[in-house]
Structure 1
């Protein structure tokens, strides 16, 4: 893929202080699939490029789930979706249960970030059920991405390759503030998940006076360099899996040499394999590479209940049976998972993370090597890069309470990242680590209740003194041990 030059100087201005024209029509009653009751749908018109207010315009869409009480509180709750590349509105049916108590007296607001959902989507139209053999080829992935980039250039709001650079987190948070103004809220509460935590930190940097409380779940700070950190964090989660198996009687008895089996499996690659697709049942043949195997193992590490089946799957794969591993790998990434707007994903990563890959200074890990960094470096070599203000990468002290949540065995955003942010936020930050949790805690155990009590607390001191014992003591799921086959009769 051809390397492209940096975005022209016309867009390299200090966006944090730029006021962009906003035009908003009143939100109207509407229905959203998956939500039982009528909600309000609205949009704000925004300039794609803040330096060209008369240039291409986009519509940033949002949904408000109105508070149930007549005398509602004035500070709504905004969900910031993950990815980067998820539509917040599409997540509303899945997460409203988490916000149920808050919704009694507060509006819950979902904004489709520019590049996702109905907000000028950068959709690559990739099949949700790609064949296993196709997904096993990194070069095929890069070719699909290059083809996607060319299709995106034909969108009505993308007049040149440069326009693909106007989908950064900084601009998206200016859109979010335009929505805040459109609904008439003086201050808001932020709930960010994964990449949404980066978005939340950027919103607070630009608009500190508009934030009342923030909850950051699975913290991905702006200086994280996502592709570079992936190998270190996945390696730590995998090492923790092997250690947990050794410490658990049933797992250690069933697979006493699990680490050795894993090492032997890696050493056997690349190799030709045939695996029935867990969705279609059709047997597919392809070359199992080291990178593909590591990706298959990394995916279930996100969810401890799925990771509990990894010892059995790794053991089976070491004996040439890859069916269980293929099923676990596809459990999150294929049918039923949240849609990812791939174009927006790369617009963010290539602008904010890729330029810092060379200076990230990440040493190769035992099993994961350099992780995702080489693939993203190739992908971003041909993707137009938006300008990112240097201040974006700095997290300063917070004047309002921030609750940070971390899963101790999270392979993507483990506690080390949140600890760095909490230190920068200083006295108004509270970092809660759940030792045996993976990626994403909002729907776990008593967390919805903690979320409610943190945001609903009358004063800052009460919010920061939250009792979190109900979540920190959750045990790690025991390893899944397949039942022994019945003796032949």
Structure 2
């Protein structure tokens, strides 16, 4: 009797601890057929001031179908930095569909994104006039206006939106859900958050999947500029090595270089979102920015030779259309206030001294971070300890943002429990490939750690053999808009 009473008391105590948080409530998420469960956890804005301003971190649980589900849920972290995980619920539920048979999938809106103390600048969805989006003076003004607006928010201390602080929020959600251990799946910047959760809370992590590795010491603006140039070189080389593409777009590399050398020039371009014609000063920075989105997807990148060819002939609409196709999907928007809060605190201090011929992308971040409130991160944040649990790293060989060179270095630092899979003809986001869904599932679901690691190479062979899309042509439907001399 005493033993039963003790067990009953222990059970009641456990229930009271787990149940102390508000109950999850039924909710509907875009792209999800079945009902989800939504929750929230109150967190101090500044962890050093627990009695100060508080924010609400929102999360959603996609419940497992099985009654006897596994006790370790899968936590998904979105990219950006600045994307909302909850807004990505539709595609993520598809990518992690096999997990939903036996494990809950948890989507957290990281502080500064989605519903969690959002740091949204005006017109983050890209409807602003093109001049405001691309011209350096206009960019500076927009960022200054955004900064003033965000600092006036009740939670406007922008120093408190770093990755290490967000990792504490993740553990708070874990504790509220009563999960002793969790599995982490991070995409792009989300891999940085996953690595930081693993560093701070190694005992609470069971498995880790890093898709498009963006480590804490990557120095995002500098790496983005370097890796985009390499991805564009692959487009030129691929066209030159394909007889049909070479015939359709002869000397594309040279003509593109001539176009860049002729800039800046005034152009009339239709806005990719509003469709309205606008006068735009086109610079090399504008072209680089427009190219960035299509390079993320091999399918869209395969249309770049024709779009770039059209640009050299006076038509920018095909390039603008590809850029909008890459960035205009619902859920892919970025909260730029959160984006700059992370990058200015974690990456900008590690940028090299400015150079006379500096890449325009680096200049943009230097401009933004010059006055942006800068949070602090511990020195240990930049160092990757040996992984205490199995880690699967995924890289696309054509990825312009997080190519394999980053995954290789991180895998070496994590040690013998890390496995790095490179899919040569994939872009940004290897886990979305259909056969990779099974690879992720088996890696996480296999109970034995050694067995989970051993089978990765064989399981991933299906994706490694995926061929590259051939260059293709788009139909031309709108008249050319000729460039005019700059006044």
Q: TM-score, normalised by structure 1?
A: 0.90
Write out the 4+ residue segments of structure 1 that deviate beyond 6 Å after TM superposition.
361-364
Do structure 1's residue 56 and structure 2's residue 53 form an aligned pair?
A: yes
Contact 1:228–1:371, Cα closer than 8 Å, also in 2: no
Aligned equivalents of 1:125 and 1:278: distance in 2? Answer: 18
Aligned equivalents of 1:337 and 1:132: distance in 2? Answer: 21
Query: Which of these residues, 471, 474, 477, is aligned with residue 466 of structure 2?
Result: 474
Query: Which of these residues, 424, 438, 441, is aligned with residue 427 of structure 2?
Result: 438
Aligned equivalents of 1:53 and 1:102: distance in 2? Answer: 36
Query: Who is 1:97 aligned against?
Result: 94
Query: Who is 2:80 aligned against?
Result: 83
1:376-455 to structure 2, matched below 5 A, reads 376-455=365-444
Aligned equivalents of 2:347 and 2:133: distance in 1? Answer: 24
Q: 1:279 to 1:46 in 2, by over 3 A?
A: closer
Query: Which of these residues, 50, 62, 66, is aligned with residue 69 of structure 1?
Result: 66
Query: Who is 1:176 aligned against?
Result: 170
Contact 1:61–1:111, Cα closer than 8 Å, also in 2: yes
Aligned-residue CA RMSD (Å): 1.9
Aligned equivalents of 1:335 and 1:420: distance in 2? Answer: 32
Aligned equivalents of 2:474 and 2:341: distance in 1? Answer: 43
Aligned equivalents of 1:173 and 1:240: distance in 2? Answer: 36
Aligned equivalents of 1:472 and 1:84: distance in 2? Answer: 28
Q: 1:290 to 1:100 in 2, by over 3 A?
A: same
Contact 2:124–2:333, Cα closer than 8 Å, also in 1: no
Deviation at 1:229, TM superposition (A): 1.0
Q: Which moved more, 1:123-132 or 1:246-255?
A: 123-132
Query: Who is 2:153 aligned against?
Result: 155
Aligned equivalents of 2:356 and 2:439: distance in 1? Answer: 37
Aligned equivalents of 1:288 and 1:363: distance in 2? Answer: 20
Contact 2:124–2:336, Cα closer than 8 Å, also in 1: no
Query: Who is 2:323 aligned against?
Result: 329
Deviation at 1:32, TM superposition (A): 2.4
Q: Deviations over 1:344-371 (max 9, x none)?
A: 1111001000111136x9996xxxx525
Gaps of 5+ in 1: 1-22
Q: Deviations over 1:54-74 (max 9, x none)?
A: 100111111111110010001
Query: Which of these residues, 245, 250, 258, is aligned with residue 256 of structure 1?
Result: 250
Aligned residue for 2:419, secondary structure, equals: strand
Deviation at 1:483, TM superposition (A): 6.5
Query: Who is 1:223 aligned against?
Result: 217
Query: Who is 1:42 aligned against?
Result: 39
Aligned equivalents of 2:361 and 2:243: distance in 1? Answer: 34
Gaps of 5+ in 2: 1-19, 478-487
Aligned equivalents of 2:24 and 2:317: distance in 1? Answer: 49
Do structure 1's residue 292 and structure 2's residue 281 form an aligned pair?
A: no
Aligned equivalents of 2:221 and 2:181: distance in 1? Answer: 34
Deviation at 1:482, TM superposition (A): 4.5
Q: Deviations over 1:216-236 (max 9, x none)?
A: 000000000001111210111
Aligned residue for 1:26, secondary structure, equals: coil
Q: 1:104 to 1:335 in 2, by over 3 A?
A: closer
Aligned residue for 1:25, secondary structure, equals: coil
1:189-204 to structure 2, matched below 5 A, reads 189-204=183-198
Q: 1:373 to 1:278 in 2, by over 3 A?
A: closer
Q: Which moved more, 1:392-401 or 1:252-261?
A: 252-261
Q: Deviations over 1:128-179 (max 9, x none)?
A: 2222333231221221111111111222223xxxx21001000000010010
Aligned equivalents of 1:483 and 1:74: distance in 2? Answer: 52
Aligned equivalents of 1:132 and 1:326: distance in 2? Answer: 11
Aligned equivalents of 1:51 and 1:272: distance in 2? Answer: 51
Q: 1:91 to 1:249 in 2, by over 3 A?
A: same
Query: Which of these residues, 340, 362, 365, is aligned with residue 373 of structure 1?
Result: 362
Query: Who is 2:9 aligned against?
Result: none
Structure with more helix by fraction: 2
Q: 1:65 to 1:284 in 2, by over 3 A?
A: same
Q: Deviations over 1:417-458 (max 9, x none)?
A: 111100000100000001111111121131111111111112
Query: Who is 1:136 aligned against?
Result: 134
Q: Deviations over 1:256-278 (max 9, x none)?
A: 31111111111111111112234
Q: 1:88 to 1:237 in 2, by over 3 A?
A: same
Deviation at 1:298, TM superposition (A): 2.0
Query: Who is 1:4 aligned against?
Result: none
Aligned residue for 2:255, secondary structure, equals: helix
Do structure 1's residue 463 and structure 2's residue 461 form an aligned pair?
A: no
* Number of corresponding residues: 455
